[in-house]
């Protein structure tokens, strides 16, 4: 029987609330019947850790994380601490130092979920592949001067290797005949994105069975709302991917539903986190939608090779959304924990096939 060691980092705000429900689901699908077990080790990193230690995670955090099979993360950010301090102290170094260069963000509709789209525009069902270690998030630049002469410079870093590997991954997801859209802004940002376009075209030429287009990010934002069904796999830079995947979550009906996998293809260690943040406006009220975090649990099990268990979680989620067991973001009045209860009941109705 395979045993997987999972580092669980609940983090801040609603992070611990949604992760708690994800863990209930993970415990319910693992075990002897399922043919695998999970060792869930909680790491209390984040803003509370900062209060005690003056840093968001310990100095040996990265080597510690490398000893696990996977990382299950909630969210980071607390209103009394600067957001750049908390994100550059925890989530961004994990992505960069573990070289998790793919941020995979599937966008799909769950049954029973009201979407803001009119039915005639078609359903969104696409995957966004976001570059996750460089680009606009390189962190280079600074501020200088004072008063009206004060200025800030923020430098993006785009490498041929960084572009090539993430676009290559996007093509690896695309079925023959399907469409890959490369998202840039090469008209205005005239150094980085012409390089991106060039490299993407070279990768596309190696995959003649897949359709390819490049599109400016502003036009992509428009088409995602007007004609979302035209897209299959989209690939874009760190910042564009960040923004467009919140738009994608909006198309799904709620930011609380959106899930992501941070991966280094070919490597087991990966990080799974909902797309949303710590949501201080609803934290501590039992209102957070846990389904994004639960979908991350399914992505994590699929990545570990436990496809049957991942499928069970996905079917339980569909069962729960079909019955409209909804938190307030989806127009319901259920609590975070009640959605977890409904998921466990759905899993019980559909027992695992013992192997
Ligand atoms: P946010 O995603 O936390 O919240 C945006 C809006 O969506 C809020 O109205 C919130 O209530 C709602 N929302 C988010 N998740 C929800 C859920 N599961 N259920 C129901 N409603 C949900 O974004 P923000 O307000 O821009 O940022 C808040 C903090 O989170 C900041 O400190 C920011 O830096 C941090 N942040 C962290 C991550 C991360 O850890 N990966 C991601 C985004 C933002
Ligand atoms: C996300 C978040 C992060 C990002 C923040 C917290 C740095 O918004 O995961 O989408 O921009 O990548
Ligand atoms: Mn984001």
Per-residue pLDDT tens digits of the chain, which is 355 residues long:
899 999 999 999 999 999 999 999 999 999 888 999 999 999 999 999 999 999 999 999 999 999 999 999 999 999 999 999 999 999 999 999 999 999 999 999 999 999 999 888 889 999 999 999 999 999 999 999 999 999 999 999 999 999 999 999 999 999 999 999 999 999 999 999 999 999 999 999 999 999 999 999 999 999 999 999 999 999 999 999 999 999 999 999 999 999 999 999 999 999 999 999 999 999 999 999 999 999 999 999 999 999 999 999 999 999 999 999 999 999 999 999 999 999 999 999 986 654 4
Q: What share of the chain is helix, strand, coil (3-state, %, to 5)?
A: 45, 20, 35
Identify the residue whose tokens are 């938190």: 327
State if residue 259 touches ligand 1 by the CB under 6 angstroms criterion: no
The verdict on ipTM greater than 0.90 is yes
State if residue 242 touches ligand 2 by the CB under 6 angstroms criterion: yes
List, in sequence order, the alpha helices (H) in the chain: 15-29, 47-53, 61-66, 83-89, 91-97, 160-173, 192-205, 217-226, 238-252, 291-303, 307-322, 336-349
State if residue 90 touches ligand 2 by the CB under 6 angstroms criterion: no
- Contact call for residues 269 and 277 (beta carbons, < 8 A): no
Give the strand pairing for 126-131 and 271-274: unpaired
Q: Tokens in use for 179?
A: 């469409």
State if residue 279 touches ligand 2 by the CB under 6 angstroms criterion: no
Proximal ligand: closest to the CA of 73 = 1
For atom 6 of ligand 2, the residue with the nearest CA is 87
For atom 30 of ligand 1, the residue with the nearest CA is 277
State if residue 288 touches ligand 2 by the CB under 6 angstroms criterion: no
Residues with CB under 5 A from ligand 3 (ion): 242
Q: What positions carry a catalytic annotation?
A: 137, 185, 218, 242, 246
**Which of left, alpha, beta for 13 (phi over 0: left; psi -120 to 50: alpha)?**
left
User: Is the full-model pTM beyond 0.95?
Assistant: yes
pLDDT in the model for residue 278: 98
**Which of left, alpha, beta for 305 (phi over 0: left; psi -120 to 50: alpha)?**
left
Which residues share a beta bridge with 157? 135
Distance 80 CA to ligand 2 centre (A): 18
Q: Which atom of ligand 1 is nearest to 90's Cα?
A: 40
pLDDT in the model for residue 353: 58
CA distance 283 to 14: 5
pLDDT in the model for residue 335: 98
C-alpha torsion angle, residues 6, 102, 85, 146 (rounded to 10): 180
Other Cβ atoms less than 10 A from the Cβ of 281: the count is: 10
For atom 7 of ligand 2, the residue with the nearest CA is 87
- Contact call for residues 340 and 20 (beta carbons, < 8 A): yes
State if residue 84 touches ligand 1 by the CB under 6 angstroms criterion: no
Tell me the C-alpha to C-alpha distance, in Å, between residue 303 and each of 69, 88, 92, 270, 320: 10, 26, 21, 8, 23
pLDDT in the model for residue 354: 46
pLDDT in the model for residue 350: 81
């Amino acid at each position: 029987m395979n045993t997987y060691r999972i580092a669980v980092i609940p983090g801040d705000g609603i992070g611990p609330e949604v992760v708690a429900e994800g863990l209930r689901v993970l415990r319910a699908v693992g075990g002897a019947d399922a043919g695998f077990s999970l060792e869930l080790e909680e790491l209390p990193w984040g803003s509370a850790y900062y209060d005690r230690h003056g840093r968001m995670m310990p100095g040996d955090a990265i080597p510690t994380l490398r000893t696990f099979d996977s990382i299950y993360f909630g969210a980071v950010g607390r209103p009394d601490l600067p957001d750049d301090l908390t994100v550059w102290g925890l989530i961004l170094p994990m992505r960069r130092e573990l070289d998790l260069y793919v941020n995979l963000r599937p966008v799909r509709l769950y049954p029973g979920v009201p979407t803001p789209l009119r039915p005639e525009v078609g359903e969104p069902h696409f995957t966004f592949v976001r570059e996750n270690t460089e680009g606009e998030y390189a962190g280079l630049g600074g501020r200088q001067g004072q008063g009206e002469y004060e200025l800030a410079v923020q430098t993006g870093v785009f490498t041929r290797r960084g572009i090539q590997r993430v676009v290559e991954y996007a093509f690896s997801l695309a079925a023959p005949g399907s469409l890959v859209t490369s998202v840039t802004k090469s008209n205005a940002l005239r150094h980085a994105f012409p390089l991106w376009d060039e490299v993407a075209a070279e990768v596309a030429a190696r995959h003649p069975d897949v359709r390819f287009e490049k599109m400016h990010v502003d036009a992509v934002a428009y088409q995602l709302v007007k004609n979302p069904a035209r897209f299959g796999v989209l690939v874009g830079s760190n910042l564009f991917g960040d923004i467009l995947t919140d738009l994608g979550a909006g198309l799904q009906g709620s930011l609380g539903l959106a899930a992501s996998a941070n991966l280094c293809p070919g490597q087991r260690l990966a990080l799974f986190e909902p797309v949303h943040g710590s949501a201080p406006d609803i934290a501590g009220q039992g209102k957070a939608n846990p389904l994004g975090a639960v979908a991350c649990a399914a992505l994590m099990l699929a990545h570990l090779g436990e496809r049957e268990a991942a499928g069970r979680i996905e079917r339980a989620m569909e069962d729960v959304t079909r019955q409209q067991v909804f938190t307030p973001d989806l127009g319901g009045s259920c609590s975070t924990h009640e959605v977890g209860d409904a998921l466990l009941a759905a899993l019980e109705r559909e027992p695992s096939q013992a192997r």
